[in-house]
C-alpha cells in the first residue's frame, strides 16, 4: 500500500508543479523513484502470491524462440545478464534459492521466471500508463527518463526470463530425445 500511495502522491505532485521548478537532477531522481515504486508494487505482490497464474499458460509458451534469441543478441542482454550476475545474482545463496541443480530445482526456476516476467510485465504497463498521464501534462523529460528506465528495468528482464525458458526447453528436449 505504501508504494501505491507514494506513486499516486508523486504523480499528483508532478502534475501540480511546473516543470521549471525542477532541476535536471531532480527530474532524473523523481523519474527513478517513480519507476522504482511502480516496479516495487509488483515485486512485493509477486513475493507473496503466485501472480504468474493471472496470465494463462499460452502466454508463457514461447512461440518464436528465434526472435527472442535475436532480441537477446541485438539488445545486448548478455551484458545486462552479466551485470545482474556481478551485482545481485553473483552470490551463491541468491542463485540457489532459484535453482539448486535438481529437476525439482529446474521446475522452481521455471516458476520463478514466470513470476518475474509477470511482475515486470505488470510494472511495464503501469509505468506506461503513468507516462501517458505525465505526457499529457507536458512532463516530457520525466517521461523520457521513465521510458529509458522502463526498458532497462522491465523490458530487458522480460526478454531475459523468456530466454532462460528457451534454454531450459532446449535442455529438457535434448534429454528426452
What percentage of the chain exceeds 70 in pLDDT? 90
Whether residue 45 contacts residue 119, with contact meaning beta carbons closer than 8 Å, is answered with: yes
Rounded distance between C-alpha atoms, residue 102 and residue 16, angstroms: 54
Reply yes or no on whether the pLDDT at 35 is more than 90: yes
Give the pLDDT of residue 94: 62
Give the pLDDT of residue 46: 86
Reply yes or no on whether the pLDDT at 177 is more than 50: no
Cα–Cα distances (Å) from 151 to 11, 108, 111, 142, 155, in that order, read: 20, 26, 23, 14, 5
Mean pLDDT of 64-81: 88
Q: Whole-number mean pLDDT of the chain?
A: 87
Amino acid at each position: 500500500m505504501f508504494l501505491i500511495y507514494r506513486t499516486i502522491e508523486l504523480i499528483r505532485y508532478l502534475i501540480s508543479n511546473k516543470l521549471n521548478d525542477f532541476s535536471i537532477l531532480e527530474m532524473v531522481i523523481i523519474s527513478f523513484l517513480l519507476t522504482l515504486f511502480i516496479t516495487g508494487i509488483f515485486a512485493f505482490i509477486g513475493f507473496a502470491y503466485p501472480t504468474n497464474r493471472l496470465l494463462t499458460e499460452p502466454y508463457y509458451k514461447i512461440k518464436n524462440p528465434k526472435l527472442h534469441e535475436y532480441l537477446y543478441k541485438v539488445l545486448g542482454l548478455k551484458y545486462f545478464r552479466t551485470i545482474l550476475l556481478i551485482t545481485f545474482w553473483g552470490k551463491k545463496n541468491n542463485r540457489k534459492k532459484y535453482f539448486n541443480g535438481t529437476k525439482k530445482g529446474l521446475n522452481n526456476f521455471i516458476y520463478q521466471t514466470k513470476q518475474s516476467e509477470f511482475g515486470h510485465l505488470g510494472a511495464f504497463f503501469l509505468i506506461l500508463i503513468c507516462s501517458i498521464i505525465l505526457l499529457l501534462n507536458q512532463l516530457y523529460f520525466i517521461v523520457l527518463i521513465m521510458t529509458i528506465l522502463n526498458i532497462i528495468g522491465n523490458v530487458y528482464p522480460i526478454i531475459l526470463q523468456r530466454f532462460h525458458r528457451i534454454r531450459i526447453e532446449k535442455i529438457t528436449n535434448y534429454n528426452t530425445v
